[in-house]
Amino acid sequence: MAPRKVIKKIKGKFQTLAHNTVPHDGRSQGELVIITGMSGSGKASVLKAFEDLGYYCVDNLPVGLIPRFAELIGPSSEIEKTALVVDVREGSQLEELPAIVKSVRRIIPTKVLFLEASDAVLLRRFSETRRPHPLGRHNSVKASLSEERQHLRKIRDLADLVIDTSKFNVHELRAHVTERFQKQQSGKNILVSCVSFGFRHGVPEDADLLFDVRFLPNPHFVPEFRNLTGRHPKVARYIRSFPQSREFIERISELLVYLLPHYVHEGKSYLTIAFGCTGGQHRSVMIAEDVGKRLKKAGYRMKVNHRDSPK
């Protein structure tokens, strides 16, 4: 869209906002959330989550218009919550954002939400969507991502919240942001993934915590269990029949329930807990399932994944 058309469209929205303003009646000053970050990191999905939360949302607002926008949604406006996206599409004007954010915070409470993801994930997303990177078609996507990170370095430093979206799908990302910005916070804003795997196939690279369960009796050596997995009731019952299995599940679950609030306090958005056995078919699968159920019962959002089962 041409710059003049963009400004004309934004001015139209400003006029609508201006007609909706009323004298200040002692209510809260409102809230502005500026969403920014890497191309392909999920900004559109996050903006949709804010829209579902009742925020007035604007995508790709020109940086130079943010101060005027803040004035219109300030204390005298009926609009209490606003979210807008600003990113590398803004070009060289993006360099003005840190100074603008500083000035806008004098007008209205403002938070900067920065989204990022690993290069490998971003490259995959661009490949899947077949969309060009905003910085141009002449460079490779990998080179454009490197250039974009340089442009956004100062903006990332001023962010109130940084979310790495590498491990989230669209639905998980929206759910995570929704929980983060809902007025009633549960104190458990973290997505926990329990992953089972086999050491034979390598250790998961994204594991935050890793537990080796090869000390438990192996159902693989029981002929009737060999072609089943740890999700089968008979196999699960066999593994639970050993006291060390029950004690391990109990102790690990208690440890994780103790640790998770501390990860939340430090701003952790997700935690991947990996359980490994030899082949990733029986013991690790059953343990991941049981621990996942216990953490879900404790109130955490859970995702259980069996990387190597079945093979």
pLDDT in tens, the chain (311 residues): 444 444 444 445 544 544 444 334 444 457 899 999 999 999 999 999 998 888 889 998 888 899 988 888 766 667 778 999 998 888 888 888 999 999 998 888 999 999 999 999 999 998 887 788 888 767 888 899 988 998 898 999 989 999 999 989 888 898 888 888 875 445 566 889 999 999 999 999 889 999 999 999 999 999 999 999 999 999 999 999 999 999 999 999 999 999 998 888 776 778 999 999 999 999 999 999 999 999 999 999 899 999 999 87
Q: Where are the beta strands (DSSP E) in 69-177?
A: 81-85, 110-116, 161-164
The CATH classification number of 3-181 equals: 3.40.50.300
Q: What is the pLDDT of residue 190?
A: 83
Residue 101: closest CA among 166, 11, 153, 32 = 32
Residue 62 backbone phi and psi in degrees, to 5: -55, 135
- pTM comes to 0.58
CA distance 287 to 273: 11
Burial (0-12, 13-18, 19+ Cβ within 10 Å), 43: buried
User: What pLDDT, on a 0 to 100 scale, did the predictor assign at position 54?
Assistant: 85
> For residues 160 and 158, what is the distance between their CA atoms, to the nearest angstrom?
7
Residue 187 has what DSSP assignment? S
Domain ranges of the chain: 3-181, 191-306
Alpha helices (H) along the chain: 3-19, 43-52, 66-72, 97-104, 119-129, 141-157, 170-181, 233-240, 243-265, 283-297
